[in-house]
Structure 1
Amino acid sequence: MRRCSFTRSKIKRFSRKTQFLYLLCYFLEHSASNIERIADGFIYYLHKLKEQANDYADELAFALGYSFIFD
């Protein structure tokens, strides 16, 4: 991930349109990376939930005397 290469004082010296464009690009870039982090976290927790569901199904099948094998 790239860091902001301009300080606040340098951005203030830009024209108003350039300031707006720079900040818009900055926020879009950071929002995209935040969305990727949220998606990665969601996928991680879905995998954990699937593992827990499979473990619970295995325990229940064992308790009921079934010999199913869940993947």
Structure 2
Amino acid sequence: MTETESERLMGLPESWTKYGADGEAIRPLQRYKALGNAIALPCADYIMAGINGTQKVSTPMANKKSHCQHLK
């Protein structure tokens, strides 16, 4: 698998990891490491949308009494 294919799988544009902040080319091994330590953007979007949807759904529950008040 090439670095470009790895970037595509992670939801990044092609050559996203090709150059560093200083404009120097990044070695392939370092690019693989960076991509391996990252979270796929489509996955992160899905998780955040779920959290956002849960918060919107659970907002009305915030005013209700907890079922666990006896544990305090």
Which interval holds the TM-score relative to the shorter structure?
Answer: 0.3 to 0.5
Between 1 and 2, higher relative CO (CA 8 Å, sep ≥ 6) is seen in 2
TM-score, normalised on structure 1? Answer: 0.43
Query: Which structure's CA Rg is the greater one?
Result: 1
